[in-house]
A = this chain, B = another copy of it.
């Protein structure tokens, strides 16, 4: 069996403790791992078929009235595959931050407009912080501590980033004053 895609492991992880449909997997991803690992329908549905064919999950038809519905459960092979992946040192670690990119090129703008980039970035981080806080409120007490650890990491990350934006804005204001008076 060749290498599975990253999305495959997201699916394995989310069907491990309870059977879920593709739609439910997408929903739970959007409410938990989305901030550091997203997944779209365009990946999920084909991947479910591949995983079922490989015997790592099994699907059962559970229609709701006249609406088709297939929920998937993990198999013993799937559990083993998931654990083997978890044991390998994590590799992918990427960011894609348009704000930092604009800040990088901000010398092309008048200084006051460059500061505006930092203010936008800070506002965005605070908005994400609120979203994460809302998710934290929703979650009750669970025995698995890891999702909550990751979530609180996201919250702390947004706090750090918002604070950094604030400090950099102040720093640029200071250096602008220095130039005029010095």
Copies in the assembly, this chain: 2
Q: A interface vs B, CB < 8 Å?
A: 6, 9-10, 13, 16, 32-33, 35-38, 79, 82-83, 85-87, 89-109, 113-114, 116-117, 120-121, 124, 128, 144-147, 149-150, 153, 156-157, 160-161, 164, 168, 171-172, 175
Determine which residue in A35, A91, A106 has the highest number of CB atoms from chain B within 10 A of its CB, and name it: A106
Q: Decide: A37 and B101 in contact? CB cutoff 8 A.
A: yes
Residue of B nearest to A159 (CB): B160
Pick the contact of A16 from B86, B108, B164 — CB < 8 Å? Answer: B108
14 chain-A/chain-B pairs, Cβ below 8 angstroms: A13-B108, A32-B104, A37-B100, A83-B109, A87-B109, A90-B101, A90-B121, A90-B124, A91-B98, A100-B150, A104-B147, A107-B144, A107-B145, A145-B172
Residue of B nearest to A95 (CB): B36
A86-B117, A90-B120, A90-B124 given as contacts; is B109 within 8 A of A36 (CB)? no
A37-B97, A86-B117, A95-B94 given as contacts; is B150 within 8 A of A103 (CB)? yes
A171 vs chain B, min Cβ distance (A): 8
Q: Decide: B104 and A33 in contact? CB cutoff 8 A.
A: yes
Q: Decide: B97 and A96 in contact? CB cutoff 8 A.
A: no
A144 vs chain B, min Cβ distance (A): 4
Residue of B nearest to A171 (CB): B149
Q: Decide: A36 and B86 in contact? CB cutoff 8 A.
A: no
A36-B97, A90-B124, A121-B90 given as contacts; is B108 within 8 A of A79 (CB)? yes
Per the bound structure, the CA–CA distance linking A32 and B150 in Å amounts to 28
Chain B contacts for A86, CB-based, 8 A: 102, 105-106, 108-109, 113, 117
A152 vs chain B, min Cβ distance (A): 9
